[in-house]
Structure 1
Amino acid sequence: MRTPRPARSGALTVEAAGCVLWRRSPVTGELELCLVHRPRYDDWSWPKGKLKHGEDPLAGALREVAEETGHTAVPAAELPSTHYLAHGRPKRVRYWAAEAVSGTFTPGDEVDRILWLPPDAARRHLTSSMDAGLVDALLATLRPAG
């Protein structure tokens, strides 16, 4: 893991990681994206969380997916990172495209619901417009080359 850089204000950047988790619908075969609901913030976002000290960002992203959604995922391309202020500190979240391969969701204190939605519906359902931009980034990685 890279050492957090001090921001101009002198505050260390909070490092986090997550995934834009996807699957093929077990019913229709269409692409579905997983959103998590966090009751603490009453928002819908991608599964993500702060990295543990010294944790590899991709390993942290997959850990967060497992903890928040109950799913095991196979990672693919790294997607754009998001940067914002959280509680007055700069925060960077690195994201990866990841396919859900197995698992079952169990509600918890941190995430009480998940939704599997088609890309356009997921884009509209996400609370943050910053998160919505990752839908197109994911779709670009899933398109066949040519």
Structure 2
Amino acid sequence: MIVSEFSCGGVILDGRKVLLVQVKNMKGKKIWTFPKGHIEAGETPRQAALREVLEETGYKAVIVRPMIRVKYAFTFQGNYVKKMVQWYLMKKLGRIGKHDASEILSIRWVSLLKARELVQYPSDIRLVDMLLATMNIEPTESPETETTEE
């Protein structure tokens, strides 16, 4: 069976640091990525992205602008899943809660250069590369310090 999914997510900046979430992928491997999730009934894509960021990280954010919409496909439980994700660039407003420990193992603020080392999904790498280019950060620059929040 072919299943279509649409999700929205946020790339949250605080100066030159970006917020990553650590999750387990479908194979059980721990990976670093950006927060995202499905749209709930009655939500716009922007509302869904902001809600997912808040639920998964505990951070309230504001959307700066849309980034890219990525499409990919995978097989899950015998279904062929065609997925589309709308990404938004966001700016941190403040922390108002804790991250969702039921789906998020940990969260971490890191430099964009460190994020480039940590993320593995092709679309995440593309998002980081877009920001690096926008901020004129060269890969040879030394990474800034990072902060882990458990």
Output the TM-score relative to the length of structure 2.
0.76
Q: Deviations over 1:62-89 (max 9, x none)?
A: 0000000000001011111111114221
Cα displacement (A) at 1:110: 0.5
Q: Deviations over 1:84-139 (max 9, x none)?
A: 11422100000000011100544511102011111111011012122111013234
After superposing on structure 2, the runs of 4+ consecutive aligned residues of structure 1 that deviate more than 3 Å are 104-107, 138-143
Unaligned runs of 5+ in 1: 1-9, 25-30
Q: Point out the more displaced range, 62-71 or 79-88.
A: 79-88
| Equivalent residue letter for 2:50 | L
Give the strand-richer structure, 1 or 2. Answer: 2
Q: Point out the more displaced range, 56-65 or 80-89.
A: 80-89
Question: Aligned pairs, how many?
Answer: 128
CA distance in 1, matches of 2:3, 2:44: 18
- Work out which of the residue numbers 20, 24, 36 in structure 2 matches 1:39: 24
CA distance in 2, matches of 1:59, 1:107: 18
Q: Does residue 56 of structure 1 match 2:44? A: yes
Q: What is the match of residue 96 of structure 1?
A: 88
CA distance in 2, matches of 1:61, 1:19: 6
Q: What is the match of residue 27 of structure 1?
A: none
Q: Does residue 18 of structure 1 match 2:9? A: yes
Q: Does residue 65 of structure 1 match 2:37? A: no
Unaligned runs of 5+ in 2: 137-150
Q: Point out the more displaced range, 35-44 or 65-74.
A: 35-44
Output the TM-score relative to the length of structure 1.
0.78
CA distance in 2, matches of 1:85, 1:53: 23
Partner of 2:2, secondary structure, is coil
CA contact (8 A) 1:19 1:97 kept: yes
CA distance in 2, matches of 1:51, 1:109: 19
Q: Point out the more displaced range, 124-133 or 67-76.
A: 124-133
Partner of 1:85, secondary structure, is strand
Q: Point out the more displaced range, 32-41 or 95-104.
A: 32-41
C-alpha RMSD of the superposition = 2.1
